[in-house]
Amino acid sequence: MHVSASLSDEDLLVALRARQPGAFEEVVARYGARVLNTCLGLVPQRADAEDMTQEVFVEVHRQLAAFRGEAKLSTWVYRIAVNKCLEWQRYRKRQKRFAFFTSLFGADDNAPAHDLPDFDHPGVLAERREQAAILLQAVARLPERQQAAFTLFHLEGLPHSEIAETLDLSVGAVESLLHRAKASLQQRLRGYYQEYLAG
C-alpha cells in the first residue's frame, strides 16, 4: 500500500522509518519545490540550485535513520538545505580564491568572473527579475547566517520560530540577524529596494 499525500508530517515520518513504499517519494513531492526555492535564494544559478536540491534529498535519505524527530520534518529538511547551500558557497569561494591566485602567477588566465545570478525564483514577476538578481547579489555578500535567515524569511515566508529551529538559534537571535541583514542591504542598495525590504 502506497503512502497517501494526505498524511501528516508525523505519520509520514513513521512511514519513512517503516520503509513503506512511496514514503520517500512523498517527502520529495511535498518539499521539493520549497527546497528548490530555498536553494535559489542561496545558490542563485538555477542549474546549481537544482543540483543542490537533488543533493539535499540524497542527504535526507541518508540521514533518515539518525533523525530523532526533535524538530518538525519540514524544519529538518530546511536545515539540511541551508547547510548544503552554505557548504556550496564556501566551496565556490575557495575555487574563486584559488583561480584568482593562480591567475596572478600566470597559471590560469581564465579565472571565473563573479556570476550574475540566473534568478528565476517562483513568485518574482518577470519584470522584477533583474532587480531580484541584483538583490540576490547583495544578499550573497552578507554573512552566512544573515543570508540564511533573510532567505527563509523573505523568500520562503517562514515564521521567526521555525527559522530559529532551522538555524539552531533563539528567536531573538533570528530577529537580530534579520535586522542586521535588512540594514546592510538597505545601505548597499541605497534605497532601491526599500519597498521589498519593508516586510
Confidence grade of residue 157 (pLDDT, cut at 50, 70, 90):
confident
How far is 155 from 49, CA to CA, in rounded Å?
14
| Residue 143, in any domain of the structure | yes
- Looking at the domain assignment, is residue 2 inside a domain? no
Residue 23 falls inside a structural domain: yes
What residue numbers bound the domain in which 44 lies? 9-197
- Residue 192 in any domain: the answer is yes
For residues 47 and 199, the model is more confident at 47
Asked whether residue 1 is domain-assigned, the answer is: no
The total domain count for the chain is: 1
Q: What is the mean pLDDT of residues 158-173?
A: 94
Residue 107 lies in a domain: yes
CATH number, domain of 123, equals 1.10.1740.10
Q: What is the pLDDT of residues 87-144, one digit of tens each?
A: 988 877 766 655 544 454 444 444 333 444 454 555 555 556 667 677 778 888 899 9
- Kindly give the interhelix angle for 73-104 and 23-42, rounded to the nearest 10 degrees: 40
- C-alpha cell belonging to residue 16: 519513512
Tens digit of each residue's pLDDT (9 = 90 or more) over 38-86 = 999 898 788 999 999 999 999 999 998 788 777 889 999 999 999 999 9
In a domain, 4, yes or no: no
Determine which of 21-25, 32-36, 192-196 has the lowest per-residue pLDDT on average: 192-196
Assigned domain for 3 exists: no
